[in-house]
């Protein structure tokens, strides 16, 4: 009998490969198919790990099969990928069970003629697991081609992306970046300071045998080291689980962005791209009962998620507004602070969503940049004189970050970049000479986020 986790993993990988769903949705669907927590954990690990190591796995498949992966049936390729991932990266899984299930999965997918091929590729790889034919780290730092092959194939990243990082940061830091992306991300949560302090939350979780430690930089964050604070349910993680009103699931780098806004009690704040609402609730806490936050998004489904998050957090000074995707915003220029957490490529979050590295291309960056500049211009129209507009992304690439700011300023003489040093001393480690924020995996151990503050004179 095929292990339920492997069957669910194959279904999830099929859905991602067919572009029916993205990785987060595939994980939710896989989890829903299983009732045992151990099966759920294994299925999610197989799906995520297979996508994370996809390029390396394909390189090995081509070597041991003697043919390009493009010539393989999709189901057969997915079965070999997920099985190789387990054989090479999950040492607690018996190799014999993995190979037997791979053959049975192939048979159940009605690919009987491919069972021998699947068995042969897996066993050939097993015999050579201690001398895998993957590119080695080049001895010469200036050998850019060898460096790109090493980072791209051995560490499973697209060539175009590692070449960019090599040019900007060099081999040493680029290697640290790809290694960071291939490490499983910890569960990170933020105390909902509308209800509880970080220390109070940590103590409450400890009572439930959930061990946490404070995040290194974010003042309200906790990293979960053992135990599970979430009782997983479909939908919004912010309203699901133990002590649901007291915390939200939020990456540490993301938690730093509201600090750049420098929201203060009594301020009028606009959060323009607010869903799922983690930053919104942080801004609501900073604005206090005398201030208010208008939280917006363009898609009805994301508006529903935003409403649920705000309600669960108890953010009574937040109003949720659906705004059109283009054109003038339905507000007067009255806001003291505006946050534009812009839709972007997500290339800074590859560790948490490894499929992004395969879904994005270099050509996507210009299109994202165009939309981001337009979004900034719309937001600028409703900022009051003397107000601050913070532009942020979870992208690592200049076309979505510095270039967007430069293009905006070229047509907005009334605006200037504000040095983020004055926003919060907690941001000091991330601010460059131009006063903007970069969190970098190789320097800070965080996902790659960007933030810049623009002030209206």
Give the contacts of 352 (CB within 8 A, at least 6 positions apart).
185, 251, 447
- Tokens found for residue 365: 């960056």
Predicted pLDDT of residue 386: 95
Catalytic residue positions, numbered: 394
Query: pLDDT tens digit string along 107-119?
Result: 999 999 999 999 9
Return the minimum-mean-pLDDT range out of 30-39, 75-84, 442-451: 30-39
Per-residue pLDDT reduced to its tens digit, 407-449: 999 999 999 999 998 888 999 999 999 999 999 999 999 999 9
pLDDT at site 231: 63
The pLDDT of residue 232 is above 80? no
Distance CA 6, CA 4 (A): 5
Q: How far apart are CA 46 and CA 13, in angstroms?
A: 9
pTM, two decimals, is 0.93
Q: Give me the residues paired with residue 322 across strands.
A: 297
Residue 192 burial (CB < 10 Å; 0-12/13-18/19+)? buried
Task: Give whole-number Cα distances, 321 to 219, 248, 309, 348, in Å.
Answer: 29, 21, 14, 28
The pair of structure tokens assigned to 76 is 């057969």
Q: What percent of the chain has pLDDT over 70?
A: 97
Structure-token pair, residue 338: 């505006």
- Tell me what the mean pLDDT of segment 124-144 comes to: 91
Is the bond preceding residue 276 a cis peptide, omega within 30 degrees? yes
Of 6-15, 61-70, 87-96, 121-130, least confident by mean pLDDT is 87-96
Spatial distance between the Cα atoms of 441 and 138, rounded to a whole number of angstroms? 22
The mean predicted confidence, pLDDT, of the chain is 94
């Amino acid at each position: 009998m095929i292990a339920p986790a492997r069957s669910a993993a194959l279904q999830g990988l099929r859905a991602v490969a067919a572009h029916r769903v993205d990785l987060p949705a595939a994980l939710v669907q896989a989890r829903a198919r299983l009732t045992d927590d151990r099966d759920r954990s294994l299925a999610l690990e197989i799906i995520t790990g297979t996508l994370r190591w996809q390029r390396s796995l394909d390189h090995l498949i081509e070597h041991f099969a003697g043919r390009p992966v493009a010539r393989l049936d999709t189901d057969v390729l997915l079965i070999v990928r997920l099985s190789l991932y387990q054989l090479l990266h999950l040492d607690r899984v018996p190799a014999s069970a993995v190979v037997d299930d791979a053959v049975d999965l192939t048979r159940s997918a009605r690919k009987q003629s491919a069972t021998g091929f699947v068995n042969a590729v897996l066993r050939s790889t097993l015999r050579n697991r201690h001398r895998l034919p993957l590119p080695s780290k080049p001895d010469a730092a200036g050998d850019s081609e060898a460096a790109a092959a090493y980072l791209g194939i051995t560490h499973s990243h697209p060539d175009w992306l590692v070449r960019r990082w090599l040019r900007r940061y060099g081999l040493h830091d680029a290697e640290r970046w790809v290694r960071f992306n291939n490490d499983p991300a910890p569960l990170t949560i933020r105390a909902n300071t509308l209800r509880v302090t970080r220390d109070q939350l940590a103590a409450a979780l400890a009572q439930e045998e959930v061990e946490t430690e404070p995040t290194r930089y974010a003042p309200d964050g906790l990293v979960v080291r053992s135990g599970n604070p979430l009782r997983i349910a479909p939908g919004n993680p912010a309203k699901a689980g133990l002590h649901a009103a007291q915390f939200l699931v939020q990456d540490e780098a993301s938690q730093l962005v509201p600090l750049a806004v420098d929201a203060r009690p009594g301020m009028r704040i606009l959060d323009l791209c607010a869903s799922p609402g983690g930053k919104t609730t942080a801004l609501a806490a900073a604005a206090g009962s005398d201030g208010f936050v208008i939280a917006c998004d363009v898609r009805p489904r994301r508006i529903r998620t935003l409403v649920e998050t705000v309600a669960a957090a108890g953010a009574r000074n937040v109003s949720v507004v659906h705004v059109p995707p283009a054109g003038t915003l339905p507000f007067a220029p009255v806001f003291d602070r505006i946050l534009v957490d812009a839709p972007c490529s997500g290339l800074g979050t590859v560790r948490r969503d490894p499929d992004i590295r395969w879904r994005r291309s270099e050509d996507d960056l210009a299109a994202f940049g165009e939309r981001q500049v337009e979004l900034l211009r719309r937001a600028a129209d409703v900022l009051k004189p003397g107000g601050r507009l913070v532009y942020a992304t979870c992208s690592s690439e200049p076309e979505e970050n510095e270039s967007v700011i430069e293009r905006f300023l070229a047509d907005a003489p009334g605006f200037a970049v504000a040095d983020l040093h004055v926003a919060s001393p907690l941001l000091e480690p991330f601010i460059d000479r131009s006063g903007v924020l970069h969190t970098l995996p190789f320097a800070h151990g965080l996902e790659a986020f960007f933030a810049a503050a623009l002030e209206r004179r």
